[in-house]
Amino acid sequence: MIDNATFLMTQNSAGGPILRPAELTPQELYDLADGSDDAKPPTLGRTIGGALSLVLILAIGGYLFLAV
């Protein structure tokens, strides 16, 4: 979503219109931070990805512990 006021004021300028994102309303921010996706049960892919990331973090931490 772009800021329509800025776009309409600058649409005929020599350098072209200024396109900037519009600020989100408080309701839109609440909808983004609702966290309703976290209430769903984890899928197989999400579980495998979480396990892989945990293994990578532990492996890097162990390597840094032994290397230093």
Q: Are residues 44 and 61 in the same domain?
A: yes
User: Model confidence over 28-60: pLDDT tens digits?
Assistant: 777 766 666 666 788 899 899 999 999 999 999
Looking at the fold, whether 40 and 20 belong to one and the same domain comes out as: no
Specify the pLDDT at position 22.
76
By C-alpha distance, which of 32, 28, 17, 25 is closest to 4? 17
Contact 20, 27 (CB under 8 A): no
Which is more confident, 25 or 11? 11
Q: How many domains does the chain have?
A: 2
Q: Is 23 exposed, middle or buried (0-12, 13-18, 19+ CB in 10 A)?
A: exposed
Residue 27 sits in the same domain as residue 53: no
23: containing domain: 1-34
Residues 41 and 61 both lie in one domain: yes
Same domain, yes or no: 17 and 41: no
CB contact at 8 A, 19 and 7: yes
52 and 66: one domain? yes
Percent of the chain at pLDDT > 70 equals 87
For residues 12 and 6, what is the distance between their CA atoms, to the nearest angstrom?
Answer: 11
